[in-house]
């Protein structure tokens, strides 16, 4: 392998001649062989760094033109654009399990931009990773900024659209089956009737509430730490850099990013991330409930409830021919479990801010972005491959409804709670219909029973 010699404050180190990164990235790559190739820094973080480096260069050019020349600024912008587009993804090999401030990933971005920017300008030493690309910045304010940018984009551009599309499908099902009366169930036992449309409305309202909560979390994510530099004081950043940089990031992303009003808080607290992930967890919990309801209602096809028919996407067994399983429901429940686990990790990480910095940033970023990405993709798949093709089995719903002993509730106003309970118990013990049991006990005449007993009107 051809190598070149790179230098940093610790001395010289060999780097593959094919790579754009420099000495600090190479040291991290060698010193943290943990989850290599699997648990690398999320691509969303790298792209967010590209956005903030581009914004910082423009603001530095406006505020410090004697240092950030037009030539340097243009080179940084060109290289940052390649990072944002994903063209340089192979140049970011560092794992999540590195320094807790994410310093090495910040330097990885700085080194790649410096080298690539110099190549594009055809001036190899035009940019210095620290002096130019990292001008007016610190890892301590750039990583929290990249985290907030990536988190806000993931929630608003991926997770919310997926949830809202599923809500649209549920709204269609709700209308389609507004008149499909079925047995309700509480405690996994038969209960009084409900329409399938009403049941679906509960699912829909849950997801709508989750979306409200996700949107309520966005303002906290839109606050950026950039400009606080090392400890929140803004040392080595020109006056007004924080406000201008946030405004530029807002312009680049089309999102209402603003500078955090208190940088000491922004560098050490992850409360905005915790709050936002709590909303993600709430959505995951409701998706778990929805998926479980669907697979129970679709259980069978002959020996279960059988009230729903779900799409047959693939064979369900390697030994039982013709078996079809609720696989889309199962992927949703597994993703929900992962999100709940991630929430615990994020909560613990957020509690570990010591003095002026939280040093659990990479693991927080990894878990948050995994949750948002997985849940968005899970919901989209569930919508397309399950809920959009879900159909109610009206005949089975009607059959189960009329076999339910809890329809006896309709008789309580006529014969009282105690007598109605006797009717239900007799019907169950002797395998009778509610009508036959009620008549046998002499509580109502046939005409009186028929006048009182209308399951379809109990919804």
270 Cβ contact partners less than 8 Å away, ≥ 6 residues apart: 346, 349, 350, 353, 358, 360, 364
pLDDT per residue as tens, the chain (459 positions): 899 999 999 999 999 999 999 999 999 999 999 999 999 999 999 999 999 999 999 999 999 999 999 999 999 999 999 999 999 999 999 999 999 999 999 999 999 999 999 999 999 999 999 999 999 999 999 999 999 999 999 999 999 999 999 999 999 999 999 999 999 999 999 999 999 999 999 999 999 999 999 999 999 999 999 999 999 999 999 999 999 999 999 999 999 999 999 999 999 999 999 999 999 999 999 999 999 999 999 999 999 999 999 999 999 999 999 999 999 999 999 999 999 999 999 999 999 999 999 999 999 999 999 999 999 999 999 999 999 999 999 999 999 999 999 999 999 999 999 999 999 999 999 999 999 999 999 999 999 999 999 998 999
Residues identified as active-site? 187, 317
Q: CA end-to-end span of the chain, whole Å?
A: 74
60 Cβ contact partners less than 8 Å away, ≥ 6 residues apart: 67, 68, 73, 135, 136, 238, 241
Residue of 197, 208, 198 lying closest to 167 (CA atoms): 208
Enumerate the H helices of 183-326 as residue ranges.
196-221, 241-253, 263-268, 271-297
User: CB neighbours (10 Å) of residue 235?
Assistant: 11
Question: What domains does the chain contain, in order, with CATH numbers?
Answer: 3-10+19-135 (1.10.275.10), 141-224+268-395 (1.20.200.10), 404-457 (1.10.40.30)
> And the tokens for 341?
């686990």
pLDDT at 240: 98
User: CB neighbours (10 Å) of residue 353?
Assistant: 17
pLDDT at 186: 97
Phi, psi of 456 (to 5 degrees): -65, -20
pLDDT at 424: 96
Q: At what angle are helices 241-253 and 139-154 packed, to 10 degrees?
A: 30
pLDDT at 78: 98
98 Cβ contact partners less than 8 Å away, ≥ 6 residues apart: 28, 32, 104, 105, 362
pLDDT at 1: 83
């Amino acid at each position: 392998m051809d190598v070149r010699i790179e230098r940093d404050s610790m001395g010289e180190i060999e780097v593959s001649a094919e790579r754009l990164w420099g000495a600090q990235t190479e040291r991290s790559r060698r010193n943290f062989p943990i989850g290599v190739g699997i648990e690398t820094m999320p691509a969303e973080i790298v792209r967010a760094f590209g956005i903030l480096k581009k914004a910082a260069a423009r603001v530095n050019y406006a505020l410090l033109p004697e240092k950030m020349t037009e030539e340097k600024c243009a080179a940084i912008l060109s290289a940052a654009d390649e990072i944002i587009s994903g063209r340089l993804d192979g140049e970011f090999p560092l794992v999540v399990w590195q320094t807790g401030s994410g310093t090495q990933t910040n330097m990885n971005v700085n080194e790649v931009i410096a080298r690539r920017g110099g190549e594009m300008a055809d001036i190899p030493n035009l940019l210095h990773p620290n002096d130019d690309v990292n001008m007016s910045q610190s890892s301590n304010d750039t990583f929290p900024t990249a985290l907030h940018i990536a988190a806000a984009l993931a929630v608003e551009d991926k997770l919310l659209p997926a949830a809202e599309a599923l809500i649209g499908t549920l709204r269609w099902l709700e209308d389609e089956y507004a008149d499909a009366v079925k047995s309700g169930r509480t405690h996994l036992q038969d209960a009084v009737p409900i329409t399938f449309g009403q049941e679906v409305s509960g699912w829909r309202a849950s997801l709508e509430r989750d979306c409200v909560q996700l949107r309520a979390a966005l303002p906290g994510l839109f606050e950026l730490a950039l400009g606080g530099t090392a400890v929140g004081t803004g040392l080595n950043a020109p006056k007004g850099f924080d406000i201008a940089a946030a405004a530029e990031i807002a312009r680049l992303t089309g999102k209402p990013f603003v500078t955090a009003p208190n940088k000491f808080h922004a560098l050490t607290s992850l409360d905005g991330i915790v709050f936002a992930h709590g909303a993600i967890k709430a959505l995951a919990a409701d998706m778990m409930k929805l998926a479980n309801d669907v697979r129970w209602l679709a259980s069978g096809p002959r020996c279960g409830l059988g009230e729903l028919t779900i799409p047959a996407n693939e064979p369900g067994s390697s030994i039982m021919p013709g078996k079809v399983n609720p696989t889309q429901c199962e992927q949703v429940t597994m993703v929900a479990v992962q999100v709940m686990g991630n929430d615990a990790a994020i909560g613990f990480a957020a509690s570990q801010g010591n003095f002026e910095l939280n040093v659990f940033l990479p693991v927080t970023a990894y878990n948050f972005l995994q949750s948002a990405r997985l849940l968005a993709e899970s919901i989209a798949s569930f919508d397309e491959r399950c809920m959009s093709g879900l159909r109610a089995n009206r005949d089975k719903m009607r059959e189960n409804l009329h076999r339910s002993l809890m329809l006896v509730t309709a008789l309580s106003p006529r014969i009282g709670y105690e007598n109605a309970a006797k009717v239900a118990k007799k019907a169950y013990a002797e395998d009778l219909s509610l009508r036959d049991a009620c008549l046998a006990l002499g509580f109502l005449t046939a005409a009186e029973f028929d006048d009182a007993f209308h399951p379809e009107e109990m919804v």
